[in-house]
Amino acid sequence: MQKLTCDILILGAGSGGLSVAAGASQMGADVILLEGHKMGGDCLNYGCVPSKALIAAADRAHMMGRLSDYGIANVTPDVDYAAVQNHVAGVIAQIAPVDSQERFEGFGVRVIRAYGRFVSPTEVEAGDYRIAARRIVIATGSSPLVPPIPGLDRVPYLTNETLWSLDSCPDHLLIIGGGPIGMEMAQAHRRLGAKVTVLEGAKALGREDPECAARVLEAMRAEGVDVIEDANVTRVSGSGEEGGVSVVLEDGRDIAGSHLLVAVGRRANTENLGLEVAGIETTPTGIKVDAALKTTNRKVYAIGDAAGGLMFTHVAGYHAGIVVRSAVLGLPAKASTTHIPRATYTRPELAQVGMTEAEARTAHGDSLEVARFDFGHNDRLVAERSAQGFIKTMVVRGRPVGVSIVGPQAGELANFWSMVIANNLKMSAVSAMVSPYPTVGEINKRVAGAYFSPRLFENETVKTVVRLIQRWLP
């Protein structure tokens, strides 16, 4: 076995691992990157990229049926599902070179295509190599969580990893799980021609602001997606495809379909890493880390999904920056969640930055103020016949602590609020900006206006002062 040494050893070539590798190597550190599967990880190959490509195709198909809103005859789309999947594969292929082994070797990273396993607190074995490193970063990501439902181990089922192998559109897609993945794929497949039933054991999009989630559910049901909430699955059966699948609920209902997608969440990839040998503790959701993302072995960091917190690609990238600052530059750095955005790419989109209204009321009580603005008053969206949705901003002593958005481009609008909250800006700073007219981005300024309006237009003291000023102005 060949022995190697390096400054930074990274386990996993997903978003977080690649970001650490690129930053550290280009700053002069000696970096080794281990990846036993596909470069780019889940996001590129099975998650964010293919799902958004599929949603883009579904959006185009859906738009063909509502062209009459714009004075153009509606068209019934002729969907070639296999061609749609080719489109998805083409998008992955176009982005893949950015995450490729060749590109990172060009940065000076040594890439070893093997899984790593700790054999001591500072050493990892991978393939034919035993690697000793000054600092180690665990960026092994997560996998689909498969619940222990009786019969599931005997039924063909799909996850976000295997969905992309389908070459024909499901006749009736059953989805267990009403979270972001389940709801996005439900609407996309409905728009591509499938009958879709979502089975959620609690409330669909239950983590989100209830008012925002209700708008999404209303829109999806109007499109024909059957969303059944409080639907606890007790068993499944069937052979899939020709034989179909059957899902039995706790209340006795038997829901039959042609395909089954399991989308109940993710689990951190922490198995087979030899963590116990390295003195690294885990939690029920992932690897135990402190605010600096260090594990119980102070030489080892865990980032992204492996750290068991917010499982988003952009969080892994954010964590990577924390680690580069700490492990490469030796500077103090801590991760925060107060400004982390999340988005669900249904139509309408749903986005959240910081606290929801309920969370903010619990944390801040009477100090909380909520400002709202309805998308129906945004001229750009009115012109595009898409003016459905709203934004609400949770404000404490003049500073936003959370923003909930539902409507077109909600995810894009959320970018701005992440910057505002990350930099502890006041609503006055938001109000001072100028947006080009007409843009959807004006919504962010208008909600700041809604926050200040009662102070300016409904305040008798202000009116009295203005009258006095007007009397004395030359």
Separation CA 142–CA 306 (nearest Å):
6
Instruction: Tell me: do 203 and 168 sit in the same domain.
Output: yes
Digit-coded pLDDT (tens) for 349-359: 999 999 999 99
Q: What is the DSSP string of 68-103?
A: GGGTS--------HHHHHHHHHHHHHHHGGGG-HHH
Is the confidence at residue 28, as pLDDT, over 70? yes
Instruction: Tell me: do 119 and 137 sit in the same domain.
Output: yes
Residue 472 or residue 192, greater confidence: 192
Residue 153: its pLDDT value, please? Answer: 93
For range 299-321, the mean pLDDT = 96
Nearest-CA neighbor of 394 among 360, 441, 351, 444? 360
Tokens linked to 71: 């004075």
Chosen domain end from 224, 243, 264: 264
Number of domain units in the chain? 3
Q: Please state the residue numbers annotated as binding site.
A: 52, 116, 140-142, 177-184, 200, 265, 305, 311-314
Nearest-CA neighbor of 33 among 19, 49, 46? 19
Separation CA 54–CA 174 (nearest Å):
18
Residue 240: its pLDDT value, please? Answer: 65
Residue 386: its pLDDT value, please? Answer: 96
Chosen domain end from 264, 297, 320: 264
Instruction: Tell me: do 275 and 409 sit in the same domain.
Output: no
Q: Please state the residue numbers annotated as binding site for NAD(+).
A: 177-184, 200, 265, 305
Single-letter amino acid code for the residue at 298? R
Residue 241: its pLDDT value, please? Answer: 62
Q: Please state the residue numbers annotated as binding site for FAD.
A: 52, 116, 140-142, 311-314
Q: Residues 6 or more apart from 77 whose CB is under 8 A from it?
A: 60, 61, 64, 65
> Is 462 inside a domain boundary?
no
Residue numbers of the domain that contains 178? 152-264
Instruction: Tell me: do 321 and 237 sit in the same domain.
Output: no
Domain harbouring 282, CATH code = 3.50.50.60
> Is 85 inside a domain boundary?
no
Digit-coded pLDDT (tens) for 212-245: 999 999 999 999 999 999 999 999 998 766 679 9
H or E stretch covering 302: strand 300-302
Would you place residue 466 in the very low, low, confident or very high pLDDT band (cuts 50, 70, 90)?
Answer: confident
Instruction: Tell me: do 358 and 249 sit in the same domain.
Output: no
Instruction: Tell me: do 277 and 130 sit in the same domain.
Output: yes
- Radius of gyration for the chain, computed over Cα atoms and rounded to the nearest angstrom: 25
Query: Rounded to a whole number, what is the distance in angstroms from the first to the last CA of the chain?
Result: 90
Instruction: Tell me: do 226 and 359 sit in the same domain.
Output: no
> Is 61 inside a domain boundary?
no
Tokens linked to 127: 């393939």
Digit-coded pLDDT (tens) for 62-107: 999 999 999 999 999 999 999 999 999 999 999 999 999 999 999 9
Residue 115: its pLDDT value, please? Answer: 98
> Is 302 inside a domain boundary?
yes
> Is 468 inside a domain boundary?
no
Is the confidence at residue 468, as pLDDT, over 90? no
Helix (H, G, I), strand (E, B) or coil at 3: strand
Separation CA 247–CA 233 (nearest Å):
7
> Is 453 inside a domain boundary?
yes
Using a pLDDT cut of 70, give the percent of the chain over it.
Answer: 99
Single-letter amino acid code for the residue at 346? T
In sequence order, the β-bridge partners of residue 353 are 341, 403
Helix (H, G, I), strand (E, B) or coil at 362: helix
Instruction: Tell me: do 157 and 254 sit in the same domain.
Output: yes
CB atoms within 10 A of CB 339: 17
Backbone angles phi, psi at 341, to 5 degrees: -90, 160
Mean pLDDT of the chain: 96
Would you place residue 1 in the very low, low, confident or very high pLDDT band (cuts 50, 70, 90)?
Answer: confident
Residue 236: its pLDDT value, please? Answer: 96
Instruction: Tell me: do 24 and 109 sit in the same domain.
Output: yes
